[in-house]
Amino acid sequence: MNVGQILTLTANKFPERIAIIYGDRRFTYQEFNDRVNRFAHALLKRGLKKGGKVSVLLFNSNYFVETYFATAKAGGVFTPINFRFAPEEVRYILNHSDARFFVFGEDFLELAEAIRPSLKKVEHFFIVSEPRIRMALNYEAVLNKSKKEEPRISLSEKDLCQLMYTSGTTGRPKGVLLTHGNILWNLANTIVGREDKEGEVSLVIGPLYHTAALNNHFTVRVALAGTSILIKHFDPRKVMEIIEKERVDVISGAPAMYNLLLSLPDLGSYDTSSITKCTSGAAILADETKERLLKLFPNAEGVYDVYGCTEASPNITILKGRDSFRKKESVGLPLPFLEVRIVDEKARDVSAGEVGELICRGPNVMKGYYKDRKATGEALKGGWLHTSDLARMDAEGFVYIVDRKKDMIISGGENIYPREIEEVLYRHPKIVDAAVIGVPDPVWGEAVKAF
């Protein structure tokens, strides 16, 4: 089994079902699969080999996900770039990844032209653009000249599928190597943990260059023959209009997105009765925000809180909606197909309720960092992924993320966790967001400062 087969199987079973809504355009699974196959053949015709990198710089769109599945079917390694990156950062990723293929949108033409002379490996440029551009092949023109038959490439779960660049707290972004097997096991974990169902209509708001949006929100929906509404730019009012018009079942996002949504003055004027699932991730979601979300979406049973990291494809734990108030501040139970431990500095298990580093292992954990053996060795010590997240586990096995190891404040010899203070601040009705850091103090070493 491989990631490309997910789309092939769904298109064969439900060819006329709507797969993607992007702006005013709708694509059935048959149409989506045909376009994917055409671009896969275009890549193969131009020399894409198994393991070759195909990089994209695009906003959320059908073009983004078409390139994703086309690369997977052709045996390439999909390498998306954060569209917020500066030209120097984009140049670094294209060179570091050894990408030979680069697909970009018209919005990024000026950037692409500026960095082209310094790109070491890119040979083939494709642009999503209405007018023809001399420096790159026109995406639609390439599709029109290609064939829609399924590519015949032999792939296994061990083959590489994605190269996802993740920004750390210091240094250059690291390239996380994820195999087809990693993505498939994350798929299984997510469906069980989030209790996803066949045929659901889902909003994909988060940027698809992140594993959460790509692997959780989109790929899961394809596997379950659902409909993904791809949002290019987040606009709270537009999102509410889409929920009402398209009868959306699932909404997912970060706390900041929900705070902006809840700030709309006329929320009560929209019909939100279709929403049955609300999921959150990337940061802590305050209890007060959860309560307001469930008033906005009365047919949702709690909020699913998802915790993970790029290196885990990304999911590690999920708190089910029904536990969202019984287990306040928890990110849920470890997912079925992986192991989770909370350990001390010597990798020894700590007792229930004690704080330690969360480590995990399972078939969803990355193969390693691209061209960075040292960082790979440090992250996968003893065969376990060391997340650098401080956590505790209660007697029932529910996990609570306390903070990042690097964010911990030591004041007067005491360990202080910014996230715990932030959670207290969130409870104040006039506080929408908060950030706590440590600042130098001549007496205590560090003092706490909140913004």
Note whether 304 and 317 are within 8 A (CB).
no
**185: enclosing H helix or E strand:** helix 180-194
Question: What CATH number is associated with residue 415?
Answer: 3.30.300.30
Distance CA 303, CA 290 (A): 7
What is the arithmetic mean of pLDDT over 407-421? 61
Mean pLDDT of the chain: 92
Q: Is residue 304 part of a domain?
A: no
* Amino acid in the structure at residue 365: V
Name which of 170-179, 277-286, 368-377, 433-442 the model is least confident about. Answer: 433-442
Q: From 118, 149, 177, give the residue that closes a domain.
A: 177
Task: Give the mean pLDDT of 277-287.
Answer: 87
Task: Say if residues 69 and 44 touch (Cβ distance below 8 Å).
Answer: no
pLDDT at 146 over 60: yes
Residue 100 structural domain: 27-177
Predicted pLDDT at 438: 77
Question: Is 186 inside a domain boundary?
Answer: no
Q: What is the pLDDT of residues 4-55, one digit of tens each?
A: 999 999 999 999 999 999 999 999 999 999 999 999 999 999 999 999 999 9
Percent of the chain past pLDDT 70, that is, above it, reads: 94
Q: Is it the case that residue 433 has pLDDT exceeding 80? A: no
Residue range 431-436: mean pLDDT, rounded: 76
Q: Final residue of a domain: which of 148, 177, 206?
A: 177
Residue 272 token pair: 């939100």
Residue at which a domain ends, from 151, 177, 203: 177
Q: Could you tell me the CATH number of the domain that includes residue 117?
A: 3.40.50.980
> What is the domain count for the chain?
2
Say which residue, 292 or 282, is predicted with more confidence: 292
pLDDT at 406: 63
Cβ–Cβ under 8 Å, residues 303 and 175: no
Q: Maximum distance among all alpha carbons in the chain?
A: 71
Under DSSP, the state recorded for 215 is: I
Residue 394 identity (one-letter amino acid): D
Residue 351, Cβ density class (10 Å: 0-12 exposed, 13-18 middle, ≥19 buried): exposed
Asked whether residue 45 is assigned to any structural domain, the reply reads: yes
**Alpha-carbon distances of 306 from 288, 343, 444, rounded to whole Å:** 18, 21, 36
What pLDDT does 405 receive? Answer: 57
Mean pLDDT of 62-85: 97
Q: Provide the pLDDT for residue 430.
A: 73
Distance CA 327, CA 319 (A): 8
Q: Determine, yes or no, domain membership for 203.
A: no
**What confidence tens digit (pLDDT) does each residue in 347-373 have?**
999 999 999 999 999 999 999 999 999
How many other C-beta atoms lie within 10 A of the C-beta of residue 49? 11
* pLDDT band with cut points at 50, 70 and 90 for residue 413: very low
Which amino acid appears at position 237 of this protein? R
